[in-house]
Chain A
């Protein structure tokens, strides 16, 4: 899925008001807190909790994915598909890493299965 080798590594937590924007893949070793945003042309991988806004495939790559140890974003965008958790939904506490991808034009979230 890594569409090329162009990847940056962010070795810290992104706090509210901070943002990372990159023309490739983004890997974050830390959390993405509410109020922070990550925008990538490729994939976004968060080795931590993703609670902020994330946009993968911002340049139009429909194969882009978002992976996080704890995937609870404020808003998740892949290409031009914008999703958010349903209003009033209980915080699903999945203990496993999850992956969000576009399947048949719908953003789908599943438990991450290494292949």
Chain B
């Protein structure tokens, strides 16, 4: 039986879709059978980030309305054996799917996949309710900004109200130098307010933008530090204990990088 995990944030633009794509690719690299479900109907991007846009024939609304079988709508990734995508519809809106239909869909997908990762739309309305309806676990993504943390807090409250407890936190786009200068919220500042378990910290990295635009998850880039962060997050999701990358040590980025590749 697979596990259904929703990736959510409340605020838009903090990196839900990028996180979903990278966690999915990371888990597939580890040998798991993964399907990514884009719940952002009407504003789909997950297919673009994965570079699979031109392969879409059917989408999630076609499945729930019975225009096709579930199997027909699922797209296999072009690089990774275990990675699959169930794309959102672009010409419909959030009301095209109901929470009950999402639950049924998740039950079906659980039979075949180890992990079902749902990319939740921004906001707290219908789209959010649909996305969390079938989920067993939640990952909350935030950036080190007061507005994003505030929305993450709201989302955690709503998840708890929907009986989704023990959400895990990913802090995205941390800029170590700014934190050190006291110009950005630190990991501790964020944890103090949100008070949930930290799943990982992804440093701000130009490479993410580059690979997103190319349609290639950065997690597949062995050299990038953000890719390493996503690989660690993927391992933690499978239950493996992985130490956190020491982003805030003296000596900064290059020392961290050298330690990562084993030069100490």
Q: Please give the distance in Å from B189's CB to the nearest CB on chain A.
A: 10
Contacts of A35 in B (CB 8 A): 150, 153-154
How many residues of chain A are within 8 Å of chain B by beta carbon? 12
| A31 engages B151 (CB within 8 Å) | no
- Of the stretches A9-17, A81-89, A107-115, the one at the interface is A9-17
| A13 engages B195 (CB within 8 Å) | yes
Does residue B135 face the partner (Cβ distance < 8 Å to A)?
no
Q: Please give the distance in Å from B242's CB to the nearest CB on chain A.
A: 28
**Taking CB as reference atom, which chain A residue is nearest B192?**
A49
Complex alpha-carbon distance, A33 and B191, angstroms: 12
- How big is the B interface, by class? 10 to 19
Contacts of B193 in A (CB 8 A): 31, 33-34, 51
Interface of A is mostly: loop
Contacts of A17 in B (CB 8 A): 154, 157-158
Complex alpha-carbon distance, A54 and B200, angstroms: 33
Contacts of A49 in B (CB 8 A): 192
Does residue A94 face the partner (Cβ distance < 8 Å to B)?
no
Mark out the residues of chain A between 2 and 51 whose CB falls within 8 Å of any chain B CB in the assembled complex.
13-18, 31, 33-35, 49, 51
Contacts of A18 in B (CB 8 A): 157
Q: Please give the distance in Å from A4's CB to the nearest CB on chain B.
A: 30
**Taking CB as reference atom, which chain A residue is nearest B158?**
A17
Complex alpha-carbon distance, A33 and B156, angstroms: 12
